């Protein structure tokens, strides 16, 4: 899109020392990777990101570039074989020496508000890496979470000459007050904000959704690839299912008799995959609520997943899966109560016949079986009669699980069908168990 080209030009113009502060969902990672593809000298490149985003970076690199990368996991360092490295904030301290030995030429810090505190280890490691790098890109739709004092660390990494001294920054922009009983200083305030804004314009680019609305498609689907926290349990269940299927489905007669049972067992795999990505989902939802003033609709399938979300967010959420009058009460609460930020619904129970237009973003934590089922749920937030409505749809998928197999099958169906309208589609209501098992087997043997 045009504004993304402008972002790439801004990165090039400023020699890769930029705060990329576009609103959530405007493709900050794509712009940074386009710049990295152009700047062949920006190697080794280290990308530091939240845990729930690092596999997304890997997927973006594989999908949109000819670059190669290595994703680092765990606390025990291994040899780094690629010149582009992706690591999450949580394990930075254990990889510090290994990363420093790379002598990186470029550093990208995704969701850079995570280095807002100067004296914690993750910030100190990023600072050390930034001092080695010729290029430093900070990325966040909310680089300041609460107060200007949190802004200094990332500004110092990107523009160390411009923002070289914390005390100068704090006394100028953080409304310094004497601490309790005259001890120390309190930098929780703000001062000279317009001046700070003006200084940022030389190296910060920021576009909000409203600024580029005409360039955005009516509906955007984005997949978020995350790790599966219960991988051993999931793999055990998957292998048991494949063994059972091979033994039970040998003949056509047996195949027909056992298909329903196979779907039940597949449902258990889906549930385990959903449980394995709950931690990442919580983090994504928290980030969304912290970085926007928008409302969010979250769709799930299993009761346990619904309950986990409800237990965490019930103070700011409306509850789906209700019947009769109570259902409309919950919908009205979400539509009209400014404090109600979430609608937690069931793809089956809440995917049709209700309107949730207070939100423009939907998150799917679990997949259905058909494109129509999910399209119906997606369009709960589409404003009736307003064809120019822009909505964002996110799907959280657990890496190396049945999620990816089902997503592949659904996307193939979506391409064949082309465009699915709201409503039942009997022809595509059945899942081809055999095809799904082939995909699961392929992943296992691979």
pLDDT tens-digit map of 66-83: 999 999 999 999 999 999
Measured N-to-C along each axis, helices 92-102 and 121-132 cross at an angle, to the nearest 10 degrees, of: 10
pLDDT, tens digit (0-9, with 9 covering 90-100), for 97-137: 999 999 999 999 999 999 999 999 999 999 999 999 999 99
**What's the rounded Cα separation, in Å, for the pair 44 and 133?**
9
pLDDT at residue 418 is higher than 70: no
Please state, for a pLDDT cut of 70, what percent of the chain lies above it: 91
Q: What's the confidence (pLDDT) of residue 351? A: 84
Helix then strand then coil, in percent of the chain rounded to 5, is: 50, 15, 35
Q: What's the confidence (pLDDT) of residue 74? A: 93
Residues 6+ apart with CB under 8 A from 336: 358
Per-residue buried b or exposed e for 29-59, using 16+ beta carbons within 10 Å of the residue's own CB = bbbbbbbbeebeebebbbbbbbbbbbbbbbb
pLDDT, tens digit (0-9, with 9 covering 90-100), for 222-232: 999 999 999 99
Q: What's the confidence (pLDDT) of residue 426? A: 40
Order the strands of the 45-49 sheet from edge to edge.
Answer: 70-71, 84-88, 45-49, 106-110, 135-139, 17-20, 204-205
Ranking 33-37, 94-98, 100-104, 206-210 by mean pLDDT, the lowest is 206-210
pLDDT at residue 420 is higher than 50: no
Please state, for a pLDDT cut of 90, what percent of the chain lies above it: 65
Q: How confident is the model at residue 251 (pLDDT cuts 50, 70, 90)?
A: low
Q: What is the pTM of this model?
A: 0.83
Per-residue buried b or exposed e for 373-387, using 16+ beta carbons within 10 Å of the residue's own CB = bbbbbbbbbbeeeee
User: Mean pLDDT over all residues of the chain?
Assistant: 88
**What's the rounded Cα separation, in Å, for the pair 351 and 374?**
8
Beta-sheet pairing, 106-110 with 135-139: parallel
Q: In which element (H, E) is residue 106 found?
A: strand 106-110
Q: What's the confidence (pLDDT) of residue 387? A: 43
Q: How confident is the model at residue 193 (pLDDT cuts 50, 70, 90)?
A: very high
**Two tokens at 214?**
């005409």
Q: What's the confidence (pLDDT) of residue 13? A: 96
pLDDT at residue 431 is higher than 60: no
202 or 422, greater pLDDT? 202
**What's the rounded Cα separation, in Å, for the pair 87 and 44?**
13
- For tokens 């129970």, what's the residue? 349
Residue 363 pairs in a beta bridge with: 298, 394
**What's the rounded Cα separation, in Å, for the pair 411 and 425?**
16
pLDDT at residue 250 is higher than 90: no
Domains of the chain: 2-215 (3.40.50.10810), 219-445 (3.40.50.300)
DSSP string spanning 133-196? -SEEEEE-S-S-SS-GGGGHHHHHHH-TTTS--HHHHHHHHS--EE-GGG-SEE--S---HHHH
């Amino acid at each position: 899109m045009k504004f993304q080209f402008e972002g790439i030009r801004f990165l090039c113009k400023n020699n890769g020392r930029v705060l990329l502060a576009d609103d959530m969902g405007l493709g900050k990672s794509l712009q940074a990777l386009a710049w990295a593809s152009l700047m062949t000298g920006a190697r080794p490149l280290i990308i530091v990101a939240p845990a729930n985003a690092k596999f997304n970076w890997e997927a973006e690199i594989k999908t949109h570039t000819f670059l190669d990368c290595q994703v680092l996991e765990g606390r025990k360092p291994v040899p780094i074989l690629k010149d582009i490295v992706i690591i999450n904030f949580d394990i930075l301290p254990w990889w510090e020496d290994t990363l420093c030995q790379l002598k990186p030429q470029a550093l990208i810090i995704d969701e850079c508000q995570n280095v807002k505190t100067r004296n914690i280890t993750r910030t100190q490691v990023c600072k050390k890496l930034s001092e080695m790098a010729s290029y430093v890109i900070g990325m966040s739709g909310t680089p300041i979470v609460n107060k200007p004092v949190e802004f200094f660390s990332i500004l110092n990494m990107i523009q160390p000459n411009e923002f070289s001294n914390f005390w100068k920054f704090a006394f100028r922009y953080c409304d310094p007050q004497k601490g309790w009983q005259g001890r120390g200083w309190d930098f929780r305030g703000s001062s000279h904000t317009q001046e700070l804004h003006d200084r940022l314009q030389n190296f910060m680019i920021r576009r909000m959704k409203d600024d580029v609305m005409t360039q955005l498609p009516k509906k955007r689907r984005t997949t978020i690839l995350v790790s599966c926290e219960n991988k051993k349990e999931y793999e055990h269940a998957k292998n048991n299912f494949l063994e059972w299927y091979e033994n039970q489905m040998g003949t056509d007669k047996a195949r027909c008799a056992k298909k329903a049972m196979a779907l039940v067992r597949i449902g258990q795999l889906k549930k385990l995959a959903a449980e394995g990505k709950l931690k990442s989902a919580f983090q994504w939802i928290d980030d969304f609520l912290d970085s926007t003033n928008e409302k969010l609709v979250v769709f799930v399938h299993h009761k346990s997943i619904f309950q986990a979300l409800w237990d965490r967010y019930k103070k700011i959420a409306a509850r789906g899966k209700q019947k009769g009058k109570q259902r409309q009460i919950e919908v009205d609460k979400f539509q009209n109560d400014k404090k109600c930020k979430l609608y937690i619904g069931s793809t089956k129970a809440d995917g049709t016949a209700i309107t949730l237009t207070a939100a423009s973003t939907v998150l799917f934590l679990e997949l259905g079986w058909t494109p129509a089922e999910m399209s119906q749920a997606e369009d709960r937030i589409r404003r009736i009669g307003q064809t120019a409505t822009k909505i964002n749809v996110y799907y959280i998928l657990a890496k190396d699980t049945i999620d990816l197999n089902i997503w592949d099958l659904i996307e193939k169906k979506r391409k064949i069908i082309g465009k699915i309208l709201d409503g039942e589609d009997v022809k595509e209501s059945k899942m081809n168990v055999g095809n799904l098992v082939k995909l699961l087997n392929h992943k296992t043997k691979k």
